[in-house]
Structure 1
Amino acid sequence: MLKRLSPRERVEQFLGQFEPTVRAAFIEAIDDIRSNITLRRIVERLEKGDINGAIRAMHLDEAAFRPLDEAIRQAFNGGGVATVEQMPALRDPFGHRIVIRWDARNLTAERWLQEHSAQLVTGIVQDQTIAIRTALETGLGRGDNPTKTAVAVMGRVSAVTGRREGGLIGLTTVQGEYVARARQELLSGEPDQLRNYLSRGRRDKRFDKTVQAAIEAGKPVTSALVERITGRYADGLLKLRADTIGLHETFAALGASKDIAFRQQIEKGSLRADVVTKGWKHTPQEHGRMQHVAMQGQVVPFDQPFTAPDGTAIPYPHAPGVPTRHTLGCKCLAEYKIDFVAQLVR
């Protein structure tokens, strides 16, 4: 006999199916951008002081992120199908079963997909452009030659994999600043700054002995080693970003598709909005949000938002427009329930 999965187990199953796909799609997009960059063209433009031209030559266009669009679409549709499959059987006043289906071509569903993907990809490209511009200006400003400046942004081609590693492609502006500060710490020769590098969570710990030796000698790490160390540090940050996007976008797709699936049945007349409620379900985490812990068990009507302790109205976890302080890294869920007696009576 098959075990009936709990709501939490169904979510874990959903995440296991779609989160790796979204994460891999982001990495695929970054690899595509990296593999199509020609170092010589970037260097030529930097030699002329044409930073805008150098950025254009990297082809940081939104089309590169089509795999990410597709992965999110699959997660969104998967969430919609799963929601209607898990809905209890609905019946009309005569006892006849009401047929319910997920409609991926529904106007509300298509609008969410289009607007969400466009906002995500546009944000990634714009933020990436700022990070790269800052790095190029900083590198040239401190006297690095165009080749060194370009490689620091693009990464080096690995003799083992044949792919570019390190660099800033794919990192956020803030992550790019982390890499720049790490480079300064390693080149400083100052024990306090070198120890600060050793506190960075995404560093490659295989280089820790080298940094510790520099601390004991009171000398900076050599330039060649700094490029290797910061390159691996950048790779760690890129993995972190891919993990963050994979988790966040999968939860966003699940939350939206679940809400829209119920909305579709309401619009069709198969279900009344006033008989549906939704409850906030907090997922315990090591560094969970205390506000979301406080919201555990909060129940509201379908068309009303949850209210966080700070006053933020949240239609459902990861809903569009909700501040990132309530979404990034959040694993909370909304559990929808139907009052069947009221549905039949009304």
Structure 2
Amino acid sequence: MKLLSFVFPIFNESENIDLLYQEITRVLGEVEYRYELIFVNDGSADDSLAKLMALQRQDPRVVVVDFARNFGHQMAVTAGLDRADGDAVVIMDSDLQDPPEVALELVAKWEEGFDVVYAQRRSREDTAFKKFTANVYYRLLSSLSDIDIPRNTGDFRLVDRKVVLELRKYREQDRFLRGMVSYVGFRQTAVKFDRHARHAGETGYPLKKMIKFALDGIIGFSDKPLRLISQVGVLMAVISVLGIIYALVRRIFFPAQVVNGWTFTIIVVLLVGGIQLLMMGIMGTYLGRIYTQVKGRPLYSVRSIASTPGAQYHDPQGAEQVAGSNGAERNGAEQARKAV
């Protein structure tokens, strides 16, 4: 019987955990699959960990990965993928905005032969500001990115085992998983759904984190901002040459006329200086990411992993796969262990 792994990043989701568990087990009770529920506690400050440990003690299918500190949503999902043993892995948010019933639709498409099935929002119960900024972002990402990243999608998706093994090879520090899934390829399709509002609690993505996440998507999958620097430089050079020609013509053919230019000169200097600082900022962002990557630090640190003794899961360091795993799986786990 096939095994499904479900990955839930948890950050201060105490109010949602019990209902999430009830809903996902209710839905999965209707299917003939074995399953494991991997909850990654991303440094929660509330009693999320205590609730997760209580679930783990009563249900052997629950695995709790506890980070040593908060490493972020994308790292939490990565840790879940690193430890998932399923033939397919479903990534879901833990605030019940992703309906558990839709997960079964993803599984049905997977059974048709697709390797990646992403949930695409048909509608969303968000604020007008959130909807507007999301629309602008996806349009900008589509125009700048070198790969096709589907619009109106999040991390709610199903990925086949072979895709998971492939993703384990990619150990970028500034992670944008939905872009990475598009980048690796394989057969992909969408399932449309209506996204709910949060059941309870506050989002783990305030505006500051949303902006950083947006930059991760653009900078991580496009060099067009760097090419834009050259294009702006050429444009400014052309404008400068035209300005010099204009000044010389005025000086040679109309020497009696006074060139009034203090205000104009100051504006030009400030404009050019601002553009230069902006371009340096873009280059600095790319250089900063290179610096972060070459240090080769682990993506995350795990305080503990709680699972039922004898269950077929990774060991705490991800060093080995379960008995009976094939060679490709062992290699994937070893790559994950080295990078983590």
TM-score (norm: length of structure 1): 0.22
- Which structure is higher in strand share? 2
- Which structure is higher in helix share? 1
Larger relative contact order, structure 1 or 2 (CA cutoff 8 Å, min sep 6): 2
TM-score (norm: length of structure 2): 0.23
